[in-house]
Amino acid sequence: MAHDKDAAREMLRHTVATLAYRGEKAIRDVSDAVAGYRVGTSTRTPLEILWHIGDLIDWAYHLAKDGRRYVESAQASWADQTSRFFQNLKAFDDFLASDEPLVTAPGQIFQGPIADALTHVGQIAMLRRLAGYPVRGENYYMADIVVGRVGAEQSAPRREFD
C-alpha cells in the first residue's frame, strides 16, 4: 500500500512539473494588452486567470499540508502573478518531495485544484491566440518535463509546430 501512495505522490509531482512547463510557455512574454485582453463582458482576462491559478496552486499545497480551504488572494500585476505562479509551484512540489504525510488524498488534490489549473493554462493560451499573440503548438509527449523542475527556467521545446 505504501508503494501505491508513493506512486500517487510522484504522479502529482510529475503533474506539477507538467503544469510548470505548459504554464511557463503560456505566460512568457505577455504584454499588458494581452494580460488585460477580454473577449466578453463576463469573461476573465489572462491576468485574472493567472491570479486564479496562483490561488489554485496555493490551495493544492494547503490541501496536501493542512487541509485548509481555498483562499482568494489580492490581485497584482502580471509580473507579480508570474512570480507567484512559480513560487507556489515550488512550495507545493517541495512539500510533495518531503516525507510529510498528505492530509488530503492525491486523487482529490489532482481532480480539484490541479486539473482546474491545467484547464486555465489552456485558457490563457487560447486568449493569447485570440489577442494575436499565439503560443506555438508542441508535441508535449516529447517535451523534456522533469519532476522537480517547477520554476521559470524550463527546457526548450523539442518539437513545436504552427
Model confidence band, residue 5 (pLDDT cutoffs 50, 70, 90): low
Q: What are phi and psi for residue 161, nearest 5 degrees?
A: -150, 165
Cβ-contact 104, 67 below 8 angstroms? yes
Q: Domain 2-161 maps to which CATH number in 1.10.760.10, 1.20.120.450, 3.10.450.50, 3.30.70.1520? A: 1.20.120.450
| Average model confidence (pLDDT) across the chain | 94
Residue 103 has pLDDT above 50, yes or no: yes
Residue 127 has pLDDT above 70, yes or no: yes
Prediction pTM value: 0.93
Span 60-92, pLDDT tens digits:
999 999 998 889 999 999 999 999 999 999 999
Domain map (residue ranges) of the chain: 2-161
- For 13, 38, 51, 110, the CA distances from 144, given in Å and listed in that order, are 15, 32, 26, 21
What pLDDT was estimated at residue 161?
80
Residue 22 has pLDDT above 70, yes or no: yes
